[in-house]
Structure 1
Amino acid sequence: MTDAKANRAARRRKRKGRKSNMSLESKEQLGESAPPQTSPPPSPPPNPKRRKVDAPSNSKSRPGFLEKMRMRLTGGHFRMLNEKLYTCSGNEAFDFFKNDPQLFDVYHAGYQEQMLHWPEKPVNTIIKWLKKHSSSWVVADFGCGSATIAKNVKNKVFSIDLVSNDPSVIACDMAHTPLNSSSVDVAVFCLSLMGTNYPNYLDEARRVLKPSGQLLIAEVRSRFDPNNGGADPKKFFEAVNQLGFSLSSKDFSNKMFVLLYFKKTERNSQVQNIEWPELKPCIYKRR
């Protein structure tokens, strides 16, 4: 083959290579895909023996072990203190908390926790009743706790309890208050007839009440349930009547507590010994 022929043959091969490349580029422009690439092999399945690590729990939504133990200890202290208040006299309770006032805070913290389980609180019912009557009435709140009544009405309120963490609360035995005789219009006992000498508290209320003054008692319903070891309501009404009160109305509609409304009358001087029924202690069960 001559050199001229060899050159022509080389040029033809070069032109064919260019056409072949142009054909491939044209196919890509027309959307014809290139041969599919092989996909990578699937990842191996997780090792079933590998232990799953749980995310740390949210301490705000679920109490930890130490918090649960603290709650149990607090609840235990409350139940112990609650039982003591029901099974000792008012004077003994006053001396007990006077020696260690912090125990009173423990008791009321537990009391507030128990009230969270009540669909309706008797203190709110009493506050509504007071707001419907004269704001000029003077009120004595026996066993006031955190002085809820005084904080929610316009009336002048003497808040009385065994311990005072508030300058407005009078710390004393409820059977012996510093209030003047015939100085208040309404005496309130909201879940506070707790001592074994509870009749002395009611006698003190009679002393400080003005003529025709009002006596309001809210108590746990089971304490007035004879079928469950509680006192006979009729016997209680009769004893309060002999003390010098007449029953104005009663409300047993609530499943948790009863409300009793009395008015001060002349005390029966012929009655020397009143037969008071025993009020069943209200002992909270462990939760």
Structure 2
Amino acid sequence: MNQEAGGRNRKRKRRNNHRKTETPSKKQTATATAAASSSVKQPPPTCTVAKTLPKPLSFLEKMKAKLAGGHFRMINEKLYTCSGDEALNYFKEDPSLFNMYHTGYQEQMSRWPEQPVNIIMKWLKDHPSSLVVADFGCGDARLAKGVKNKVFSIDLVSKDPSVIACDMSNTPLETSSVDVAVFCLSLMGTNFPNYLQEAHRVLKPSGWLLIAEVKSRFDPNNGGADPDTFCEAVCELGFTSVSKDFSNKMFILLYFKKKPKNKVSKGINWPELKPCLYKRR
């Protein structure tokens, strides 16, 4: 009996040992799982970066922008439809209008793919820096700040100590004192021929006249002046046409040289330049 009982006890122990070998404990299972997890590379935690969106304009800001745009268009129309001395008196009465106009002007220019003043700067840099320049309708005097030449910056109002404030048809410059006269989007008054006559007066013989203007002003199919007719009038004033550049879709560039002999035709038939007016919104 004792031998039989001992045999049963030995068999029971072998079965228990076999179960321990086959079935791991909960603690062993958890440890094994943790080890397996640590051996597998986990993807890094995703970091969500919030995109900074432009703050929408408030109703008040929208109204201010609309009013500023309306004021610019009003002043712009005034400058295209009055004479130079009228424009001078207009800004004398309220100089803040000049700042308002040029703020709107710069906003409009920022939409152009290319600026005509940059082309004129490049032209000057390709010529001797000793050439003296008169910038008629200089605005913020950007041309003077971008070249090494001596530049007389002229406009209706002086926003900078270097700018000469005057009517562009009657400047304080001496006769035959400059080598290059520039009109960059500035033939705006109804008496624009007087501006060109003044440029002719202050230019030295064989001096350069550079004109950059909005292309629509020289589109005869849409009420603009015929560019050839305009160039003929400038030549009658005492210039020779050197070249015309119509390659830009926004503006044209005209290059003239003053004739050595100062002979000016009388009774020049000047074409009317189409005002560059912006649509009211």
TM-score for the superposition, normalised by structure 1: 0.79
Aligned residue number for residue 166 of structure 1: 160
Q: What CA distance in whole angstroms lies between the structure 2 residues aligned with 1:30 and 1:189?
A: 91
- The one of 69, 75, 82 equivalent to 2:76 is 82
Rg larger in 1 or in 2?
1
Equivalent residues in 2 for 1:53-132, closer than 5 Å: 60-132=54-126
Cα shift at 1:284: 1.6
Q: Tell me, yes or no, if the aligned pair for 1:245 and 1:267 is still in contact at 8 Å.
A: no
Q: What CA distance in whole angstroms lies between the structure 1 residues aligned with 2:70 and 2:27?
A: 83
Cα shift at 1:267: 4.0
Equivalent residues in 2 for 1:162-241, closer than 5 Å: 162-241=156-235
Aligned residue number for residue 136 of structure 1: 130
Q: Tell me, yes or no, if the aligned pair for 1:221 and 1:257 is still in contact at 8 Å.
A: yes
Q: Tell me, yes or no, if the aligned pair for 1:86 and 1:282 is still in contact at 8 Å.
A: yes
Cα shift at 1:147: 0.2
Q: Tell me, yes or no, if the aligned pair for 1:79 and 1:283 is still in contact at 8 Å.
A: yes
Q: Can you give the 5+ residue segments of structure 2 that lack an aligned partner in the other structure?
A: 1-23, 31-51
> How high is the sequence identity, in percent, across the aligned residues?
71
Equivalent residues in 2 for 1:6-85, closer than 5 Å: 28-29=26-27, 31=29, 60-85=54-79
Cα shift at 1:262: 0.2
**DSSP 3-state at the match of 2:135:** strand
Cα shift at 1:217: 0.1
* RMSD (Å) for aligned C-alpha atoms: 1.9
Q: What CA distance in whole angstroms lies between the structure 1 residues aligned with 2:26 and 2:174?
A: 107
Q: What CA distance in whole angstroms lies between the structure 2 residues aligned with 1:258 and 1:30?
A: 86
Count of residues in correspondence between the two structures? 238
**Which amino acid in the other structure matches residue 233 of structure 1?**
P
Q: What CA distance in whole angstroms lies between the structure 2 residues aligned with 1:122 and 1:141?
A: 13
**DSSP 3-state at the match of 1:187:** strand
Q: What CA distance in whole angstroms lies between the structure 1 residues aligned with 2:28 and 2:207?
A: 103
Q: Can you give the 5+ residue segments of structure 1 that lack an aligned partner in the other structure?
A: 1-25, 33-57
Provide, for residues 191-233 of structure 1, a one-character-per-residue CA deviation record: whole Å limited to 9, x for no partner.
Answer: 0000000000000000000010000000000111101110011
Structure number with the higher helix fraction is 2
Cα shift at 1:31: 4.2
**DSSP 3-state at the match of 1:215:** strand
